[in-house]
Structure 1
Amino acid sequence: MEPAADGDAHRQRREDDRAPIVSLRPLGLADAVDFMAWASDDRVMRFLKRPLCATREQAVAQIRDTVLGHPWFRAICVAGRPVGQVSVWPYADEGGHRANLGYALARDHWGRGIAAAAIRMVVARVFDELSRLERLEAVTDVENVRSQRVLEKAGFKREGVLRRYIAGRGGGEARDAVIYSFLSSDRA
């Protein structure tokens, strides 16, 4: 890779200066209203397998039933307030060496580098927290170009297209997906 020209480096510094400060923390029942900012938005959830949360009660139930028992689930926060989620799910049949990364971000926060920053934070810690983890995978719909850009900005490598890999929402036709990976040896 060639070094960036001075103008490019200067532009990157200006963009970094404007980027919000992102943090990760556990998501709890008290976060149900914030959770709804992305979990009730079909534009955010259309590529995810979970149902929309149209009410606070549905959000509380999903956090209680899905999030609290999850092996590695964090809220993506800006100024301490949850604006999204990121999760790592180890594949049980692989002895813990491989896991799936998933994430979602409230639409009001798209295009600001928040998701990529959160994923870089996950990569910086998850290989140490899950001691046997060697490979982190992310699968995204071929039409979800925004998600593909986020993964590439976070350092993931595109491996290829998985044909008819994702089950259609509501029993629809299976869709193609793009698979990305980040290996423990990819960390700088």
Structure 2
Amino acid sequence: MKITLRPYSLSDVEEFMDWCDEKVIARSRISHYSTKEEAETYLKEEAMPHPWYRAICLDNRPVGFISLTPESGSFRCRGVISYAVGSKYWGQGTATRAVEMAIPIVFEEFPDMERLEGYADVDNMASLRVLEKTGFKKEGVLKKYFLSKENKCMDVVMCSIIKNSHE
């Protein structure tokens, strides 16, 4: 199947709700949307206006997301990449291919950006492998770095890739 990246639209709401299952929610910061209206609101108010939020598609059907959050001001030389794919696509290289595709695009679309950062929960080895396979280098573990959905302070592995080091 062909993997592509494209902006989300409201017509993607059912596919979004399908791939955004309980297993994905447990491993990411994405929330559970129990109604179509909640998911549409998320897409309309969060995903679609985001500076760079794309659907990861297999044959033009969304099966995940990838986003880049650029920093601003004196930190505009860096951004944070995030991604998730539906659990039925885990272990198939879908997230890895999406990150590979996104790296040159975001460096081109954000010319001031010199560094991409990626964070993986210390217990999420699959996500860390995605970063490492796509050229990100492990920089260290950030202790008690963010709050989980359960309000537990989590440790994360921080990785980065520098512009032009991926070529």
Give the structure-2-normalised TM-score.
0.95
**2:61 paired residue number:** 81
**1:33 paired residue number:** 14
**8 A Cα contact 1:38 1:45, kept in partner:** no
Q: In the TM superposition, what is the alpha-carbon distance from 1:62 to its structure 2 partner?
A: 0.4
2:72 and 2:22 map into 1 onto residues whose CA distance is 30
Q: Report the residue type matching 1:162 in the other structure.
A: L
More strand by share: 2
1:49 and 1:82 map into 2 onto residues whose CA distance is 18
Give the structure-1-normalised TM-score.
0.85
2:73 and 2:119 map into 1 onto residues whose CA distance is 18
1:62 aligns with 2:42: yes
More helix by share: 1
2:39 and 2:129 map into 1 onto residues whose CA distance is 28
Considering only aligned residues, what root-mean-square deviation do their CA atoms show, in Å?
1.2
SS of corresponding position for 1:133: coil
1:164 and 1:142 map into 2 onto residues whose CA distance is 11
**8 A Cα contact 1:75 1:83, kept in partner:** yes
1:108 aligns with 2:88: yes
How many residues in Structure 1 have an aligned counterpart in Structure 2?
Answer: 167
Match for 2:31 among 22, 26, 51? 51
Q: Report the residue type matching 1:33 in the other structure.
A: E
Q: Report the residue type matching 2:134 in the other structure.
A: A
SS of corresponding position for 1:46: helix
1:176 aligns with 2:155: yes
2:71 and 2:34 map into 1 onto residues whose CA distance is 30
**8 A Cα contact 1:86 1:102, kept in partner:** yes
Question: Which ranges of structure 1 fall in alignment gaps of 5 or more residues?
Answer: 1-19
Structure 1 ranges of 4+ moved more than 3 A: none
1:147 and 1:74 map into 2 onto residues whose CA distance is 18
**1:148 paired residue number:** 128
**2:4 paired residue number:** 23
**1:127 paired residue number:** 107
SS of corresponding position for 2:42: helix
Q: Report the residue type matching 2:3 in the other structure.
A: V
Q: Deviations over 1:59-78 (max 9, x none)?
A: 10100110111000110011
SS of corresponding position for 1:61: helix
Q: In the TM superposition, what is the alpha-carbon distance from 1:95 to its structure 2 partner?
A: 4.2
Question: Which ranges of structure 2 fall in alignment gaps of 5 or more residues?
Answer: none
Q: Deviations over 1:129-183 (max 9, x none)?
A: 1110100001111001110111111111111100011212132x20110011111
2:123 and 2:141 map into 1 onto residues whose CA distance is 11
In percent, how many aligned pairs have the same letter? Answer: 37
2:2 and 2:36 map into 1 onto residues whose CA distance is 27
